[in-house]
Amino acid sequence: MNHIAIIMDGNGRWAQERKRPRVWGHIRGVRTVSQIVEAASDLKVKALTLYAFSTENWSRPELEVSTLFKLLKKFLIIERPRILKNKIKFKIIGDVSRLPVETKKLIFDLENETKNFPGLKLSFAFDYGGRDEIIRAVNSFISQYPGQILTPQKFSALLDAPESGDVDLLIRTGGDQRISNFLLWQSAYAELWFTQTKWPDFNVLEFKNIIEQAAKRERRFGSVTSADSFERIASLSAHLKSQHPRVVL
């Protein structure tokens, strides 16, 4: 798998099931983030994008939002040595303008220090929305290339992390089966995997198992092999003849 994207869902519900505040789930979820990032790096995954905070998450309780901000800052400080050691290229996609100044400095410093690293391309989607990214990319193209025709290649180059490429596998934890405005353009042909496991309980073993199972799927990108096409046509023809013997095929 070249690019894996994960919607880290179920933190709040995980905490509520244990009679704890929702923020406790986010705190425990940071441990899972560290484990999965390390596993992706060890497995030689080329790019990993984690959905940390969406444009819609601003409607959540103020305490929960502020906790997510603090956890991002804590992650940047604690995981910085490991990111540097493993030559991971770190990036935030989305809008960081509303983050505290100190956190923004940590982000910019780490992005700059790792921009030429050859290892895992690790992107955190923070204050991110797929529709917003598409609109920003289109407006950027209009501004840079007035009067020119927009092509898929030119458009992709203007996305937040074009170096990560299209998503091969999109995983969502927590049981919900939707992509929630995440990497809409990049996930056009992604394999989708939904697990009931809530993010704090998600572990490296399940992560590896999902990758192995998803790798067995045949990715056709809208096409079929000629042999498969003939086989399906022959099967359909035989079925129709048995149901409607007077029909000439």
Choose the catalytic residue: 57, 86, 181, 203. 57
Q: Tell the burial category of 131 from Cβ atoms under 10 Å away from its Cβ (0-12, 13-18, 19+).
A: exposed
Catalytic residue check, 9 = yes
Angle at 167 between CA 161 and CA 170, to 5 degrees: 120
Spatial distance between the Cα atoms of 161 and 144, rounded to a whole number of angstroms: 18
Please say if 112 is a catalytic residue: no
**Residue 120 phi, psi (nearest 5):** -50, 130
Is the alpha carbon torsion for 160, 162, 165, 166 positive or negative? Answer: positive
> Which is catalytic among the residues 9, 127, 160, 168?
9
Q: Locate 68 and state its tokens.
A: 């997510």
Rg (CA), the chain: 21
What is the rounded distance in angstroms from the CA atom of residue 125 to the CA atom of residue 208?
22
Q: Tokens at residue 111, please?
A: 């992005």
Active-site annotation, residues? 9, 57
